[in-house]
Amino acid sequence: MKKEKEKVYQTTHDKFLNGSITIEQLLDGGRSGSDTILLAASIPANPGEAILEIGTGNGTGTIALAKQIADLKIIAIDIDPINLNIAKRNVILNKLSKNIEMLNEDITKKNLSFCFKNKLIKSFDHIFMNPPYYDAKKIILPTSDHNKVAKSFDYNLMDSWLDISLRLIKQKGTITIINKVSNLDIIIRKLTRYGSLIILPLVANNKKETDRIIINFKMGSKSNTRILNSIILHTDLGKYSDDVENVLRGRARIDITKTNYFYQI
């Protein structure tokens, strides 16, 4: 009986944070970009805290966070075994094995539990995610299976991501999400019963409407929901603004509790 030939996936190796991290990623499927780095830069983590990333893909967000904040204990999960194997290689490539555990898990499974270096973690200081942007019923699905996983969702799946996050987050812990404005109603409906939201609009340039948002949820907070002044990503010349460029280059992070969101590191 002939052994079935294993499929070979083409990948590239790309630099992020001004070359301080190198990421192998699929040529066709779930590639990382500015959203991933902006999300990682917005997580209010402190050294030593426990973090969960849901839907890590090739691991860029987790690796960027671990590179910038020392001594974190990060568990990153993904349902796609191909991308997850690449993510594991990326952790080794960037010498972050002591800070990151990559797990092939389905977030919709009941009674999920997580261990970091064989020690059970019952709850997390921070959870972050870049959920699929597009409702599978409203778009033409990509031909790549990895792109389908990365970019499309059904309504119940988004609910599952948020339900599990609420179960695993500590009191006063945060959940940070980057997503499309069109999905804001799902997120608000699910989260506002349990804490407060700060919403940071992202606008491509001065001529565009808000397309994407970064949401920071604080568990147990009684504060009112706030919508902040927008971050304008690009200048009129099409280049990233200086502040955004600094974040993408790894020279700055984002603190949405401050009047000026950007701070140097």
CATH of the domain at 226: 3.40.50.150
What is the model's pLDDT at position 188? 94
Q: What's the confidence (pLDDT) of residue 108? A: 81
> What does the block give as tokens for 96?
């972050």
> Which residue is associated with the tokens 């990421």?
23
5, part of any domain: no
Residue 6 included in any domain:
no
Spatial distance between the Cα atoms of 54 and 76, rounded to a whole number of angstroms = 6
Pick from 52, 90, 98: nearest CA to 71: 98
Q: Are residues 73 and 49 in contact, defined by beta-carbon separation less than 8 angstroms?
A: yes
pLDDT at 133: 60
Cα angle value 94/75/167 (rounded, 5°): 160
Per-residue tens of pLDDT for the chain, all 265 residues = 555 455 778 999 999 999 999 999 998 877 899 999 999 999 999 999 999 999 999 999 999 999 999 999 999 999 999 999 999 999 999 999 999 999 999 888 878 889 999 999 999 999 999 987 654 444 344 444 444 444 444 545 788 889 999 999 999 999 999 999 988 998 999 999 999 999 999 999 999 999 999 999 999 999 999 999 999 999 999 999 999 999 999 999 999 988 899 999 9
**What's the CA gap between 174 and 132, in Å, rounded?**
20
Supply the range of the domain harboring residue 235: 11-252
pTM score of the predicted model: 0.89
Q: Does residue 149 fall inside a structural domain?
A: yes
Q: What is the pLDDT of residue 136?
A: 41
Contact present, 103 and 52 (Cβ < 8 Å): no
pLDDT of 6: 56
Which pair of structure tokens corresponds to residue 185? 């109603």
Domain count, the chain: 1
pLDDT given for residue 48 in this prediction: 97
- Let me know if residue 58 belongs to a domain: yes
pLDDT for the residue 109: 82
Q: For the chain, first and last CA: distance in Å?
A: 59
Domain contains 261: no
> Look-up: residue for tokens 């990382």?
32
Structure tokens at 238: 């099409």
Query: Helix, strand or coil for residue 112?
Result: coil
In a domain, 263, yes or no: no
Per-position DSSP letters for 101-120, written without gaps between them: EEEE--TTSTT--EEETTEE
Residue 143: count of CB within 10 angstroms of its CB: 9
Query: Checking phi first, is residue 64 left (phi over 0); if not, alpha (psi -120 to 50) or beta?
Result: alpha
- Asked whether residue 158 is domain-assigned, the answer is yes
Determine, yes or no, domain membership for 260: no
